[in-house]
Amino acid sequence: MPIELLLGFGAVAFVVAVMYNSLVSKKNEIENAVGGVHSYLKKRADLIPSLVATVKQYAAHETKLLTDLTQARASMESGLSGADNLPQADSMMSQMFGRVIAVAENYPELKANENFLNLQASLNEIEGQLSAARRTYNSAVVAYNTAIESIPTNMIASALGYKRKPVFQVTVAEAERPDIAKLFGQTGS
């Protein structure tokens, strides 16, 4: 076999390998980003026992809210383990936190409680991190979707059976979630 042909095959094989690796790396980045989102969802769900305990001290008769909170946490955990619908559980949990903050408005002592304030700050911190994790996921998905639809990587992607992945979208419930900052009118300066 002439050397030119061998070199040609080698170059093609190299380019294919680079494209293949790039696709695999993009796919893995998505999985990594999903892992990040899940870890923040778990972290947020883990705030619920402390939140329930704090709310109970000042608003023990809000039994419906407390039960719903516990239920939301259970749904989230089963969603994270794959047994339940995760986006739905996520949306339910976001709504629950909104409700807790709204209820706290009726209980000035609860609103002023240091534990509650710290929980609220932690919740805001996790919400921020969660939002960042979702943006990381979306960025990874956009790069992946672009790669599997662009020439020539689309040929390798279709051979590997790679399909488009959906980006995270804000649900109606999330879009309507109360602005905690405005609700509490609390800034540092």
Partner 1 sequence: MSAIDTLRERAAKTAEFCQEKLWPLVDAHNEKHKIDLTEFRRRLKQCLPLIVGGLATVFIATHSKTPSEGLRFIGLLGYLALGVSAILLGPEIRKNAMKTIERFKAQMFLQRELKQRMISYLDPSFRLNQNPTFPEKTFQTCDLFDSSCDLKRAYDEFHGTIGETKFVMTEIGTFEKKTTRDSKGKTQVTYVPLFRGLLFKAEFNKNFHGQTFVKTDRHEKSFGRLARAAQRIAGSVQKSRLVELESPDFEATFKVTSTDSTEARYILTPDFMERLLSLKNRRGVAVQAAFVDSEIILAVPHPTDFFELKHGPEDLTRSCEHMASEFVEIIELVDLLDLGNRLSKPQTPRQVGAS
Binding site for partner 1 (CB under 8 A): 33, 36, 118, 120-122, 124-125, 127-129, 131-133, 135-136, 139, 180-181, 184, 186-189
Give the separation between CA 183 and CA 189, rounded to whole angstroms: 17
Nearer to partner 1 by Cβ, of 95 and 131: the residue is 131
Q: Please report how close the Cβ of residue 51 comes to partner 1 at its closest, in angstroms.
A: 14
Nearer to partner 1 by Cβ, of 66 and 126: the residue is 126
- Residue among 175, 163, 179 at smallest CA distance from 120: 179
CB atoms within 10 A of CB 19: 17
Q: What's the number of CA atoms in the CB half-sphere (13 Å) around residue 116? A: 22
Q: Please report how close the Cβ of residue 33 comes to partner 1 at its closest, in angstroms.
A: 8
Q: Please report how close the Cβ of residue 125 comes to partner 1 at its closest, in angstroms.
A: 5
Q: Is the peptide bond before 152 cis (omega within 30 degrees of 0)?
A: yes
Q: Please report how close the Cβ of residue 181 comes to partner 1 at its closest, in angstroms.
A: 5
Nearer to partner 1 by Cβ, of 33 and 89: the residue is 33
Nearer to partner 1 by Cβ, of 4 and 114: the residue is 114
**Cβ(141)–Cβ(166) below 8 Å:** yes
- Amino acid code (one letter) for 14: F
Tokens of 94: 């976001």
